[in-house]
Amino acid sequence: MTFEPPFLYPDYRSTLLRAPARPLMRLPDEWFEASAGPAFGRIPVGPDDADLTRQHAGQPLGERIIVTGRVLDSEGRPVRGTLVEVWQCNAAGRYVDPADQHPAPLDPNFTGAGRCLTDDRGCYRFTSVKPGAYPWRNHHNAWRPAHIHFSVFGPTLASRLVTQMYFPGDPLLAHDPILASIPDPRGRERLVAAFDPAVTEPEWALGYSWDIVLRGRQATPREA
Amino acid sequence: MSNAPTPSQTVGPFFGFALPFADGENAAAIGVRVEGQLLDGAGEPVPDGLIEVAQNGEFARSGTDAEGAYHFVIGKPAPKPGQAPHLEVTVFARGLLRRLTTRMYFPEEVAANAADPVLELAGDRRDTLIARADNGVLRFDIRLQGGDETVFFELERLR
């Protein structure tokens, strides 16, 4: 079972000249199983990197949020100690990235990039502010729904994942060609986090839960 | 069903402030220097791509610049049983809804390459997988689409 989007999805215009036209070559599994999985040990992860609201002198504007969940392998086992990277625009819908020219204000107290390693239960957890929607030039009056970009490594080359997490109840979800590129509605639902009262912290931050399932298996743990 | 992998989405255009890290292009102090261009189906540079390469615990990450150019330094891998030495290369970009995976083989490994089963399967497209020597560096261009499209590999059905 796969929910993957196709490479060519004309409603998302940037795919037209970038989608491979030739079929991907399938190799016997073991030719890749023998490959070392992605190594990420060089990417620095500081203890404060998971809190995007504490990277500057002041607090960023916006709704404070906590986003947390588990990273699992294809057999439902926790993927421990793997790198999760996130990046997002600020509450006004503007990225720090100089390539972003949307005339919404930058927030001097928000960069929008974070990293953490999953814990022994495969959990990640970030504190941030809710990103805003923003316009893009894919089609007339196109707006991206609020989203947080996620990059996860996992145990093997096949498990490497870059995706986007969306917020429940966003009316823009039904109008976004990037999300719509996933043909199966169950696949699209997999990218929408759940509002979670148990994660929400009183007088502090709204909580969202979102689990990530990676392709591939971890090395089988040794049985006693 | 609940174990179906989380679907992929594009890395988008605005990752440049977040994913590159200090000295990320240089996975090894001593290694091979690889330079290349990421090109689209019109032969135009892809200025918002991200290349990752890994071998034997070494890892490099390089964004592409306005010319679509990337570079990295990494140790040359040892041959694997039955396969010529190669690097696993992963490509992300705006407009790529899923990441792409290819391999870079080494031009000096003539005999090993001739016996490599992946290059054999690539048939008349095998040259898209082999870097070429160019004044002390290895050139490895990645063409996403078109007549000389790089061979990419299907990992989506791996378990």
Provide the strand spans (E) within chain B: 32-39, 49-55, 58-63, 69-74, 86-93, 100-105, 132-134, 137-139, 142-143, 153-154
pLDDT at A25 over 70: yes
**A5 interfacial to chain B (CB closer than 8 Å):** yes
Lowest mean pLDDT segment, chosen from A184-193, B92-101, B149-158: B149-158
- List pLDDT tens digits, range A93-108: 999 999 999 999 999 9
Beta-sheet strand order (sheet of B58-63): B58-63, B49-55, B86-93, B100-105
Choice among A120-129, A197-206, B23-32, B63-72 with the minimum mean pLDDT: B23-32
Residues of B with CB below 8 A from A24's CB? 152-154, 156
Nearest to B76 by CA among B109, B117, B124, B36: B109
Question: Whose structure tokens read 């060609």?
Answer: A177
Catalytic site positions of A: 95, 134, 144, 147, 149
Q: Which pLDDT score is estimated for A119?
A: 97
Judge whether B148 lies within some domain: no
Residues of A in contact with B151 (CB under 8 A): 22, 25
The pLDDT assigned to A223 comes to 36
C-alpha B112/C-alpha B109 separation (Å) is 5
pLDDT confidence of residue A33: 56
Query: How much is the pLDDT for B41?
Result: 98
Residue, of A31 and B77, whose pLDDT is higher: B77
**B7 falls within a domain:** no
The residue segments making up the domain with residue B105 are 32-143
Residue B151, in any domain of the structure: no
pLDDT band for position B38 (cuts 50, 70, 90): very high
B82 part of a folded domain:
yes
**Cβ–Cβ below 8 Å for B118 and A31:** yes
pLDDT at A17 over 80: yes
Q: Answer yes or no: is B152 within a domain.
A: no
Whether B12 maps to a domain, the answer reads: no
Contact B97, B55 (CB under 8 A): no
Higher-pLDDT residue of A217 and A34 is: A217
Mean pLDDT, residues A197-216 taken together = 96
User: CA A192 from chain center: how many Å?
Assistant: 10
Nearest to A161 among B6, B46, B121 (CB): B6
CA distance B145 to chain A (A): 5
Residue at B9 is within a domain: no
Higher confidence at residue A34 or residue A109? A109
Tell me which of A42, A188, A209 to substitute to probe the interface with B (most B C-beta atoms closer than 10 Å): A42
pLDDT tens sequence across B129-145: 999 999 999 999 999 99
pLDDT in tens, A30-74: 776 555 567 788 999 998 999 999 999 999 999 999 999 999 998
Q: Residues near A37 by Cβ (< 8 Å), separated by ≥ 6?
A: A153, A154, A155, A156, A157, A159, B54
Asked if A157 and B155 come within 8 Å (Cβ–Cβ), the reply is yes
Tell me the pLDDT band of A27, cut-offs 50, 70 and 90: confident
B153 located within any domain: no
Q: Total domain count for chain B? A: 1
CATH number of the domain where residue B123 is located:
2.60.130.10
Q: How does pLDDT run across A145-188, given as a tens digit for each residue? A: 999 999 999 988 889 999 999 999 999 999 999 999 999 999 99
3-class secondary-structure state, position B144: coil
- A115: pLDDT strictly greater than 70: yes
| Predicted local distance difference test score (pLDDT) of residue A40 | 85
Q: Can you list the domains of chain A with their CATH numbers?
A: 43-213 (2.60.130.10)
Which residue in chain B has the smallest CA separation from A21? B145
B79 confidence band (pLDDT: 50, 70, 90): confident
Residues contacting A206, CB < 8 A, separation 6+:
A63, A64, A65, A66, A130, A195, A200
Instruction: Kindly tell me if the per-residue pLDDT of A219 is higher than 70.
Output: no
Q: Are B34 and B104 in contact (CB under 8 A)?
A: yes
pLDDT, greater one: B57 or B20 = B20
Percent of chain B with pLDDT over 90: 87
Give A26's contacts in chain B (Cβ within 8 Å): 153-154, 157
Tell me the average pLDDT of chain A.
Answer: 93
Contacts of B158 in chain A (CB under 8 A): 29, 32-33, 156, 158, 215-216
**Proportion of chain A above pLDDT 70, given as a percent:** 94
Nearest-Cα residue of chain A relative to residue B10: A163
Residue numbers of A between 173 and 192 with CB closer than 8 Å to B: 178-179, 181-182, 186-188, 190-191
